[in-house]
Every structure is written in structure tokens, then in C-alpha cells.
Structure 1
Amino acid sequence: MEGREEDVKVGANRFPERQPIGTGAQSQDNKDYVEPPPAPLFEPLELSSWSFYRAGIAEFVASLLFLYITVLTVMGVVRSPSKCSTVGTQGIAWAFGGMIFALVYCTAGISGGHINPAVTFGLLLARKLSLTRAVFYMVMQCLGAICGAGIVKGFQKSQYERLGGGANSVSHGYTKGDGLGAEIMGTFLLVYTVFSATDAKRNARDSHVPILAPLPIGFAVFLVHLATIPVTGTGINPARSLGAAIIYNREHAWDDHWIFWVGPFVGAALAAVYHQIVIRAIPFKSK
């Protein structure tokens, strides 16, 4: 046991945080992990690589499956006159969180498992991927979401139109400001979790972190849904909101639709700035 205790002590002190704040913060001397270089804004070679298109296809399929399962879950809850006979709000939250957990696990090694334009936007701001790849991902995510909602409507057209098709809108009793704030804060939590779960420094410290990364991301989605389903139905994913709105295509689904783009993108930007500047102090690193 003495040897194990010593290992624990060594492990706990192996990565001391003694860097000064400012331009000398986190110097490269004695660094025990490799900080990935910033991705270029445009990488022409990507366009001739099969892995680039394979990643886009993975984002498309993941978004399709995400909308298919989650929209069906929402419709099942709305259909029942008594929420006690359905999975209820908690079940909807578990469906969204569980699907993100499963799909990020499946696609992380191919595309990074974004499945959300807001996540892609946040990672773009942090220079984790090129502008070319980011735009391609967002397009494929939106197309996948539209197809996923379309499949649900194709199978259950009358039920889909009667039950709202899982479209997002600000609930009665809440203002547009309430909805915008809920989307900003919810997306901030999600994207901040994504940054933390995929951090290069944490991966170096704990080998299990990359394997478990989908779990905290899915759990963050679950928690945000518990908090904001009563407010907006929870968007925090512009592709999810767009897919349901296009296929449902009713006036009230479009009235507040801008909230489900502005809110997630603002939240993602704030999370990227917070993680890169405050948590990692990357702009202050010495060259």
C-alpha cells in the first residue's frame, strides 16, 4: 500500500499549476502534453480527402438519428393526456442526453462528434477545425436534422402535424428575452463541457478522459433539457430546431426561430472565449 500511496502523491503533483499570469503563462518548458496547433481557416487539401467527406456523412447520419429518436419521444409525451402514463419531461431529457451520449461515442473518432452547429461554431472560434470543415459540418448537420424529422412525418404524418412535430418555440408565460437567455446559458454549459471533456491537457493527465468524454457531454444535454424544456422546449442546437421547424412548417414554429440560432451561437462563443482565455490562458502562452 505504501507504494500505491506514493504513486498517488506523485500523480497528484505531476502537473503543478505554477505558471504566472500573463505572457509567460504555461510555458513550453517541461510540458508533459502537446497542445494541438491552431487549425488553418482554409485547408485546400481537405477537399480532396475522403476523410473530410466521411466526417460530413457521419455528422449527417448522426443528426438524422438524433432527430428521429428525439422527435418521436416528444410526440409520445405530447400525445398522452396524462404525463404519468408517458416518460414525461424527464424521459424527453434522457432521450436527448442519451442520444448525444451514444452518437458522440459513435462518431467522435470520425468527425469529432459535433452533431450541433453551435458546438462546431465554438470549436471554430477556438481554432480546433478549419472554416471549410466547420461550414461543411453545419450544412450536413442541418440536412441530417431535416431528413430525420422528415422520416418521422413520413411514418406518422397526421400525428406529426397534430402533435407539433417537436418544433421549438417560447412557451406561454415567458418572454422572448427569457427564451434567449435560456438558450444562451444552456448552450454555454454544453459547449463548455465539450471543451473540458476534450481538453488536451486533461487527456495527458488522465488516459480515461477521451474514452469517457461522451458521458459528461450527454449528461450536460440531459441537465439543460430538465431546466429549459418548460421555457423553450430546449433548442441549444440550431440544426435540431431548423429540422423540426422546416418539416412542421407552421407559423408559430417560425415566430421565435431566430432565438434558436442567436442564443446557441452566442452561448457557444462565450464558452469558447471563457475556456480559451480564462481556463487555458492560451492567448497568454509564450511562443
Structure 2
Amino acid sequence: MAAESSMLAKCTAEFLGTFLLIFTVGCNVLGKSAPWTGVSIASVLMVSIYGLGGISGANFNPAVSTALGISKILGGPGLDLQTVCLYAAVQLSASVAAAIGYSMLFKDSFALAPSRGYNLLEAGLCELFYTFMLCFVVLNVAVAKKVEGNQYYGLAIGFVIIAGAYGAGAVSGGCFNPAVAFGIDVAGPGFGLSLPYICFELAGAALAAVLFSVVRPEDFGGAKLNRAALVSEFLGTFMLVLTVGLNELGNSQAGAFSIAASLMCMIYALGDVSGAHFNPAVTLAVMVADGIAPAKAVSYMAMQVLGGMFAAFAYSFIHHGHSFALGPKAGFDMGQVAIAEFIFTFVLCFVVLSVAVSKTTKSSQMFGLAIGSCVTVGGCAIGGISGGSLNPAVSFGIATVGGSFANAVTYSAVELAAGGAAALVFKITHAVDNADEPKGLA
């Protein structure tokens, strides 16, 4: 067994990782690197996690450390209070050093504040939701006992920043980290807004720890319960549809990529809990191809649609009650929408079956990236035709606050048909999966 790193090594790793993260944030903002800012920040977080995760756990964020501390208090895996406090102190020190560094480099700084037209509550909710997502993904891919030894943890954690940067970032600035908020506030003109930002972020961390204990009770000394899978489906769909709405209403330049990232991250976090369908069309495809019980499939679909509807209320509230309608884009009709939605929902469902269900072509590490990338494919390819829903939970979520329930029914019917078609084609292409199974009575 390898020797554990010293506390000096751990604190040095936390300082270095946090410094690089916040220095990269400042350089991107002051260097005006949009639309690549979110990708750059996500990438430095990802590579730092892979580089330093084996030393300190690569928290680089007082909210993450707090979530780990609360998880420990609840009886699960995590950090002791002394380590949480020490890590947080180091992270905040690194944030100040990084903020001074980028300010000296550019001879400029920027303020921490909600974007023009948004208030502190709206910005705070964005910080809460995506700090929750970040901490929740960390707990599920880097701490949960069932996924020990996986190689996707850095990718999953880093890409939460892409999920949040382009939609939520347009409202709050996209910190999702008390050290980021504090460093920006210290270096920027005026000081004081970091405190409410930090409060919302820590609330997100606490929520992540509590829900981690709900979806993985076995890590807390309890027995696995059916409700864990249902909560998983609700949470994953909620974050997916929230990301859809925030990107659309924020006029994001990278909407499809951001939405794909949110799906990928939550699949990696919850794939071993519920299967991480987050989509009634996927659930139907899995039911037809893999034989899950219809009652279970219906309960999944209900939680997915409910999660989509709650998310729609959330993104509409953040944007002052504004919403957007589901329907064909200008110049296209419902027939063209049906073709577009069918083909790319088929792609999504078929890939899910191939990489997460098939016994012969199942990918043990890249399944989340493969499935999430289907949204990048479809969103870019047909976003200008149908909006690229590919998911009845998305369709009904959008219709909940934007109207067009008739369109939601049409979209959903096409998407469900695509899921069924994907299952049938999968049974043909992957017939070898069942070739060695005994025939007749079990």
C-alpha cells in the first residue's frame, strides 16, 4: 500500500490547484476569451484534479471540502473537520494570491456581481444549483465506495464548469466556489458581495452532501433503497433541463456543449445508482432491449418529467418569469421537426444501449462522454430546426412554462418512437449479447 502524503504535501497541492484555477479564471475574463472561457476553466480544473488528486483529493474549493466534511458528519466517507478548515484556509489564501497575480499581469481587475439586469437572489440560485452539482458529482465519482478506481472522475468534475459557465454564468458570473468568489472580490473594485455568494455556495454544498446520503445510503451504513434510483432520476433530469433553459434564455454561444456536459457529468455521478436515464425515451429503449420491469420504467418516466417541470419553474424564476416556447424554428414545419427529432433521439438511445447496456460493446470508462456527446451532435445538427430536445422530459419541461403542450405531446411521441426503434435495431445489431444465454425455462 502506498504511503499517504504528508499534510504539508496536501496543503501545497491544494494551494497550487486553487491558484491555477483562479489565475485561469482571471486571465480568461480579463483577456476576453469568450466563448472559450468555460472550456479553459473546466480544463484547468480537470488537469489539476488528475495531477493532484492522488495527493490531497484535489478539492480546490471550500464548498467541496465542506460537502466532504458534512458527509463525514452524516456517517459517510469524507474529511474530518480539522482537515476541512485547514484546506479552506489554504484555498482562500491561494485565491488571494491568484487574484493579485492576474491583476498585476493585466494591470486590471473586475468586480464580483450579478450580471446586469439580475438581482442577488437570482444570481445566488445559480450559484447554489451549480455548486450543488459540482459537489454532488465530486462525492459520487471521487468518494463513493462503489466507483473506486474509476478513471473518469477528473473529466466528470471538470466538465461541471462547462455545464454551469454558459447558462448560469450569464446570470451570476459562474463562480461555484467560495475561493473564486473571495479572490475576485478581494482584487476587484469594492468588496462585500463575496459573502452572500459564499452563503449560497455553501448551501449548495450542504444540499449535495445530504442528497449524496440519500442516493447512496449503503455508503452511510444503510441498505440500498428503491427511492435512491427515483431521486437519482429526478436530480439528473432537473440539472439537465435547468441547463437547457438557462442556456436558451441566456443566449449562450455554446448551448449544446454545455447541455451535453451537464448530461455527461450526471451520468457519471449516478449511472451506477439508477442507470442515469434522465429521459423517458431512453427508459423505453432500455425496457424494450434489456427487459426492465414496466412498473419500474413508468416510475422512472414520472420522476424524469417531474424533474423537468421543476427545472423549468427554476430557470423561468431566475430569468424574471421569462420562458421560451417548444416548436419548429422559423422556416420549418412539424414534419421536418419530427424527422429531425426522431433521427437524433434514435442516435442518443442507440448509443446508450450500446455503451451502457450491451455486454459486448459496453465501455467501462467512456460511457458518460459517449452519451453526453450525442447531445452535442443533435443540438448542433438540428437545434435550428426543432431546438434539439431529444427527450420528452425536456419537451414537457419547456412546455410547462413556455406553453405549447400540444407540441410537447407531438415531440414526445416522436422521441418515444425513436427510443423504441433504437431498441429494436439494437436487438438486431447486438444479437450476440444473448447468444450464450441458456434457452428454455430458467
Query: Aligned equivalents of 1:276 and 1:260: distance in 2?
Result: 25
Q: How many residues align?
A: 215
**Cα 1:284–1:210, aligned 2, differ >3 Å: closer, same or farther?**
closer
Q: CA deviation at 1:240?
A: 0.8
Q: 2:237 aligns with which of 55, 63, 68?
A: 63
Q: CA deviation at 1:282?
A: 5.8
Contact kept in structure 1, 2:360 and 2:433, CA below 8 Å = no
**Cα 1:213–1:226, aligned 2, differ >3 Å: closer, same or farther?**
same
Partner of 1:276: 427
Counterpart code for 1:174: F
Do structure 1's residue 196 and structure 2's residue 354 form an aligned pair? yes
Counterpart code for 1:184: F
Partner of 2:278: 115
Q: 2:382 aligns with which of 228, 244, 252?
A: 228
Do structure 1's residue 213 and structure 2's residue 364 form an aligned pair? no
Secondary structure at the residue paired with 1:232? Answer: coil
Say which structure, 1 or 2, has more relative contact order (CA 8 Å, 6+ apart). 1
Partner of 2:320: 157
RMSD (Å), alpha carbons: 1.9
Q: 1:262 aligns with which of 413, 416, 434?
A: 413
Structure-2-length-normalised TM-score = 0.46
Q: 1:176 aligns with which of 316, 334, 354?
A: 334
Q: 1:246 aligns with which of 383, 400, 408?
A: 400
Q: 1:76 aligns with which of 228, 250, 255?
A: 250
Secondary structure at the residue paired with 2:419? Answer: helix
Contact kept in structure 1, 2:326 and 2:402, CA below 8 Å = no
Q: CA deviation at 1:52?
A: 1.7
Query: Aligned equivalents of 2:291 and 2:378: distance in 1?
Result: 24
Q: CA deviation at 1:221?
A: 1.3
Contact kept in structure 2, 1:97 and 1:222, CA below 8 Å = yes
Partner of 1:14: none
Secondary structure at the residue paired with 2:390? Answer: coil
Q: CA deviation at 1:66?
A: 1.2
Structure 1: gaps of 5 or more residues = 1-48, 78-86, 204-208
Query: Aligned equivalents of 1:103 and 1:228: distance in 2?
Result: 23
Q: CA deviation at 1:177?
A: 1.1
Give CA-to-partner distance per residue, 1:193-247, whole Å, 9 cap, x none.
11111221234xxxxx222110110111110111110111011100111011012
Q: CA deviation at 1:67?
A: 1.4
Contact kept in structure 1, 2:396 and 2:405, CA below 8 Å = no
Query: Aligned equivalents of 1:112 and 1:284: distance in 2?
Result: 24
Secondary structure at the residue paired with 1:258? Answer: helix
Secondary structure at the residue paired with 2:257? Answer: helix
Q: Considering only CA atoms, is the larger Rg found in Structure 1 or Structure 2? A: 2
